[in-house]
Structure 1
Amino acid sequence: MSTSGFTLSTSAGQKVTINESSSTTFQKGTGSASASDVTTGVPVLVLGTVNGTTITATQVVVQPAGGATSSTAAEVVPFERGTPSKAKQIGQVPANYTEGSGTIVSGATANKATEAALAAYPGGVVDRVVRLSSGEYEVHYIGVNWPHHIFVNKDFKVVGAN
């Protein structure tokens, strides 16, 4: 912790520096929170702009005590340079999906898709959210070998990954 941010460890063991600004918002559950709610050992979801291993936070969501766990979290494979990723698919990939297609989205829509993806697959970093022609979202997930794409439906529920 510092006056301008904090450092966190992802569930994959990576260190990430979080920079806060005067416009960074904090949330806990459905209510507001403050920087003082971010303490050692408390899980957080950070939304913002990624630059390497630094995130300039626009929003920090403090997770509830005991944190939500996901059976899919155990499937996340931390990134290891030179190590091939697992080639697999779980759930549904939207019909007619083509990698690289769609329109990049931002703001509240991107934040909701990111929150859903990271709740299901913690440990990586989201660098963009793309709206597909079907109206579903592809959350592009980096910093892990698998998954690389997480698919979120119009209701912001994770439906698949590859």
Structure 2
Amino acid sequence: MAGPSAGGATGIVDTTSTSGFTFSTATGVEVAVTEASSTKYKKGTHRASMRAVKEGASVLVLGTVDSATITATQVIVQPRGDGGVAAAEAAGVIPFKQGTPSPAKSVGQIADYTEGEGTIVSGAAADKAIKAAQAVVPGGINDRVVKLSNGEYEVHNISVNWPHHIFVSKNFKVLGYE
């Protein structure tokens, strides 16, 4: 990868400060969020302010990902959310464990592609693909979105042992993951 790209993650807020906050994903990954004056906030589907981000809140954060740090462009507070725990368990997300190989399994429709092909995208298309991926298989950090030659998207997932690739349709529905 050639540096930070559009990405995001879902989790529960641990701490807040004047410049950002930290949260834990459903698999226990610690994510640091840097906020900017241009960061947009929503609570559910309504506009909100940074004051909506409180310890214990469930959030979806979109922005530029560099390892386990997200420079937020959008923070969505999810009322009554569980930080993705139920969805991660239902999807069978496997937390990262050093030295444990990732299983060679897939769920649903997997695109026929070679890793490294396609075009890295950002903006609205990347945000929609990440929202779809995080709704179905949260727990990791999505660190890039690649538009494939057939118009579908591959959302790259890090910091979990499985799944590593999430395939999203042109209409932003999760097709499968591996």
Which residue pairs with 1:144 in the alignment?
Answer: 160
1:70, 1:119 within 8 Å by CA — same for their partners in 2? no
Report the CA distance between 1:71 and its aligned residue: 6.1
Q: Percent identity?
A: 61
User: Residue 65 of structure 1: which of 76, 80, 92 is its match?
Assistant: 80
Q: Can you give the 5+ residue segments of structure 2 that lack an aligned partner in the other structure?
A: 1-15
CA deviation after TM superposition for structure 1 residue 98, in Å: 2.1
Greater RCO, CA 8 A, separation 6+: 2
Of the candidates 96, 111, 124, which is equivalent to residue 108 of structure 1? 124
- Runs (4+) of structure 1 exceeding 6 A deviation are none
Match of 1:84 in 2: 101
Residue 145 of structure 2 aligns with which residue? 129
Q: Which moved more, 1:138-147 or 1:56-65?
A: 56-65
SS of the equivalent of 2:56 reads coil
Aligned counterpart for 1:118 among listed residues 134, 153, 156: 134
Measured after TM superposition, the shift of residue 28 of structure 1 is 2.1
Normalising by structure 1, we get a TM-score of: 0.92
* 1:10 to 2:20 alignment: no
Residue 154 (structure 1) aligned to one of 166, 170, 173: 170
Consecutive unaligned residues in structure 1, runs of 5 or more: none
Q: Which residue of 2 aligns with 1:51?
A: 66
CA RMSD of aligned residues (A): 1.6
Q: Which amino acid aligns with 2:29?
A: Q
Equivalenced residues, count: 161
State the shift of 1:32 in Å. 1.0
TM-aligned CA deviation for residue 121 of structure 1:
0.9
Alpha-carbon separation, structure 2, partners of 1:119 and 1:16: 18
Say which structure is richer in strand.
2
1:67 offset after TM fit, Å? 4.9
* Structure 1 counterpart of 2:110: 93
d(CA) in 1 for partners of 2:36, 2:81? 28
